[in-house]
Amino acid sequence: MSGSGGFPVPTRPKGPAAVGISEGASVTNTPQYSRGVDFAPSTSTADRPTTPLTSLMLPFRPPSPVPFTRLDNRLAELVEICHPNYNSDFPMILLRTTDGGVQYLIAYYACCIVANNVWQEDEGRDLQNADGPFLSTSKDPSDRITIPSDDLLPAGTYFFHVPSFPNGDYPIVPTFDDWELPAEIPLPWRAVESPYERPGKKPAPNTAEGFSPCYITDHWDGVKSAFIIPRTEARWWTRNCSKVRFDWRSLANEGRNKIPLRKDLHDLWNRCFLTLVPKPVLNEEKTYKLVTHLTLRDNLFPSKETFALYHNRVIPDLGDVPAFILFARFAWSIFRSGALDLFERVQEYYVYALVKKKSGGWERKYLMLSTSEIRKRFRDKELPDSVRIQRSNKRRRKEEDDDGCSTSDYTIRGQYYSPTDSESSEY
pLDDT (0 to 100) of residue 29: 52
pLDDT (0 to 100) of residue 59: 82
CA distances to 213, 303, 304, 387 from 309, rounded to whole Å, are: 17, 10, 9, 22
Closest CA to 283 of 193, 189, 151, 191: 151
Question: What are the boundaries of each domain within the chain?
Answer: 73-421
Closest CA to 327 of 121, 112, 164: 112
Q: List the Cα angle 269/275/281 in 5-degree steps.
A: 150
Report d(CA 337, CA 149) in Å as an integer. 28
Give yes or no for a contact between 304 and 69, defined as CB atoms under 8 angstroms apart: yes
pLDDT (0 to 100) of residue 292: 95
Report d(CA 167, CA 178) in Å as an integer. 24
Q: Which helix (H) or strand (E) holds 367?
A: strand 362-370
pLDDT (0 to 100) of residue 187: 95
The per-residue pLDDT for range 283-297, each reduced to its tens digit, is 888 899 999 998 866
Question: In terms of C-beta density within 10 A (0-12 exposed, 13-18 middle, 19 or more buried), how is residue 235 classed?
Answer: middle
Report d(CA 201, CA 134) in Å as an integer. 41
- Strands 274-280, 288-294: pairing is antiparallel
| Residue ranges of the chain whose pLDDT lies below 70 | 1-50, 52-53, 66-73, 195-211, 242-254, 296-303, 337-340, 378-427
